[in-house]
């Protein structure tokens, strides 16, 4: 098996507890988010793989981040990569190294995060005999079998064979995050606990949408990166920053849904709209119906909150950038900040100028986009 040079762990065998018998050295990765720089040791490792019968798999996963201490592997805490590596180890009978496309913090969820893993299929009946690689459907089914023996908060949703030089992080072309805000004085449902940011105040959606137009595009986002960010440059291109109102649901508006809402708004207001930067006021009759239903709700039925979803899309993000952006948008929605304040914060180029960061519980990694080989 190949080993991740940043996580060198010697394990005698894959036991049920998957405890390492000897830890030689662990170096935690640079915490900067998606800088795009390719590391030389990765290229050397790919060259070694060419001489062995190793199959690289691209693996899409979903998880509820509440009980994970982030995605990156740690010595003692439960993490997404740690649990996933344990499940793969039990499947293939030897340790593997999982490389994630996008690092998520403790409490952050994923509708679809992507990672890659190298597997050399060795016969269990004849040790040392190398067998043809597993089919992706077999990998998905087997790994999920072991994952479900855990808390059931992590699942493989797709698997694909890719060339040995296909890197889940460096080949990613675009990442999309969603953030859920539930607005209203009604106490938060227990079913929504740790799944959204509850804002008791009423949120001004048009004002938040206007603030999005200030922040979207190519900027120095120094005011929107945490102090621990080690990215070489604060310059990023935010391809989309939008906020729409949706019916309260654990799901999110797809690209098609957002385009449909933009078209409806164009038809109603008779003006052009840039789907990348201009976000229309939601005109869904279904939302109005939900609002009206709250007035005469029957006994034993919960009153709904207004549900706003912020969408942030870019090739790469700075550390805590999305949560800092949402914090400013929320402050605009409650009236604590004005649009000139947003411009001032952006131009200040210091994180101390921004509003408090949004909590992790409402953030979801929605999609990682690739130009996949055929």
CA atoms within 13 A on the CB side of 346: 21
Predicted local confidence at residue 27, as pLDDT: 37
Is residue 33 within 8 Å of residue 317, measured between CB atoms?
yes
What pLDDT, on a 0 to 100 scale, did the predictor assign at position 301? 77
Q: Using N-to-C axis directions, what is the helix angle for 339-348 and 205-215, rounded to 10°?
A: 30
- 243-256 burial: b if 16+ Cβ within 10 Å, else e: bbbbebeeebbeee
Q: Determine contact, residues 318/234, Cβ cutoff 8 Å.
A: yes
Residue whose entry in the numeric block shows the structure tokens 């999309």: 176
Nearest to 329 by CA among 357, 304, 365: 357
Query: Beta strands 154-162 and 217-220: pairing type?
Result: unpaired
Within 10 A of 325 (CB to CB), how many other CB atoms are there? 29
b/e map of 12-42 (b: 16 or more CB within 10 Å)? eebeeebeeeeeeeeeeeeebbbeeeeeeee
Question: Which of the residues are catalytic?
Answer: 105
Fold entry, domain 173-261+304-370: Alpha-Beta Plaits (3.30.70)
Domain with CATH 3.30.70.660 in the chain: 173-261+304-370
Distances from the Cα of 221 to the Cα of 290, 324, 369, angstroms: 37, 10, 23
Q: What is the pLDDT along the chain (374 residues), one digit of tens a residue?
A: 444 444 433 333 454 444 433 333 333 334 444 443 444 555 555 544 445 689 999 999 999 999 999 999 988 999 999 999 999 999 999 899 999 999 999 999 999 999 999 999 988 888 888 999 999 999 999 999 999 988 899 999 999 999 999 999 999 999 999 999 999 999 998 989 999 999 999 999 999 999 999 999 999 999 999 988 889 999 999 999 999 998 876 556 555 565 666 565 555 554 433 433 333 444 445 555 555 556 666 788 777 889 999 999 999 999 999 999 999 999 999 999 999 999 999 999 999 999 999 999 999 999 999 999 87
Which pLDDT does position 11 carry in this prediction?
32
338 class by beta-carbon count within 10 Å (0-12 exposed, 13-18 middle, 19+ buried): middle
pTM for this predicted structure: 0.78
- Let me know how many helices (H) and strands (E) the chain has, helices first: 8, 12
> How many Å apart are CA 308 and CA 310, to the nearest integer?
7
Return the sign of the alpha-carbon dihedral for residues 124, 128, 129, 130.
positive
Query: Counting Cβ atoms within 10 Å, is residue 73 exposed (0-12), middle (13-18) or buried (19+)?
Result: buried
Q: What are the tokens at 312?
A: 């942030």
Q: CATH says 54-161 is which class?
A: alpha beta
Q: Are strands 306-314 and 174-183 parallel, antiparallel or unpaired?
A: antiparallel
Residue 311 gets which letter from DSSP? E
Q: Where in the chain is the domain with CATH 3.30.70.580?
A: 54-161
Eight-class DSSP state of 353: G
């Amino acid at each position: 098996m190949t080993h991740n040079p940043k996580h060198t762990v010697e394990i005698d065998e894959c036991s049920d507890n998957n405890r390492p018998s000897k830890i030689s050295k662990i170096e935690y990765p640079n915490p900067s988010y998606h800088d795009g720089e390719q590391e030389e040791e990765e290229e050397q490792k790919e060259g070694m793989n060419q001489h062995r019968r190793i199959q690289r798999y691209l693996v899409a996963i979903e998880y509820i981040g509440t009980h994970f201490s982030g995605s990156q592997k740690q010595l003692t805490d439960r993490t997404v990569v740690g649990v996933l590596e344990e499940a793969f180890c039990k499947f293939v009978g030897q340790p593997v190294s999982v490389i994630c496309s996008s690092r998520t913090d403790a409490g952050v969820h994923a509708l679809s995060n992507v990672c890659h893993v190298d597997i050399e299929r060795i016969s269990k009946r004849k040790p040392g005999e190398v067998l043809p690689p597993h089919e992706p459907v077999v990998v998905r089914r087997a790994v999920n079998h072991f994952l479900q023996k855990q808390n059931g908060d992590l699942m493989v949703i797709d698997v694909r064979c890719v060339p040995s030089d296909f890197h889940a992080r460096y080949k990613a072309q675009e990442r999309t995050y969603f953030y859920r805000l539930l607005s209203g004085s009604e106490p938060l449902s227990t079913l929504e606990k740790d799944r959204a940011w509850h804002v008791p105040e009423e949120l001004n959606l048009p004002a938040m949408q206007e603030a999005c137009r200030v922040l979207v595009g190519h900027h120095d986002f120094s005011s929107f990166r945490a102090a621990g960010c080690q990215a070489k440059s604060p310059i990023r291109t935010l391809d989309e920053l939008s906020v729409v109102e949706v019916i309260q649901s654990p799901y999110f508006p797809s690209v098609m849904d957002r385009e449909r809402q933009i078209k409806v708004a164009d038809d109603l207001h008779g003006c052009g709209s840039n789907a990348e930067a201009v976000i229309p006021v939601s005109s869904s009759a279904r939302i109005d119906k939900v609002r009206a239903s709250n007035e005469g709700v029957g006994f034993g039925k919960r009153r709904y909150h207004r549900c706003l979803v912020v969408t942030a899309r870019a090739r790469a993000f700075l550390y805590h950038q999305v949560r800092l952006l949402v914090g400013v948008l929320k402050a605009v929605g409650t009236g604590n900040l004005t649009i000139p304040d947003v411009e001032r914060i952006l131009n200040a180029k210091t994180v101390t100028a921004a509003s408090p960061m949004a909590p992790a519980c409402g953030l979801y990694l929605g999609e990682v986009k690739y130009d996949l080989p055929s």
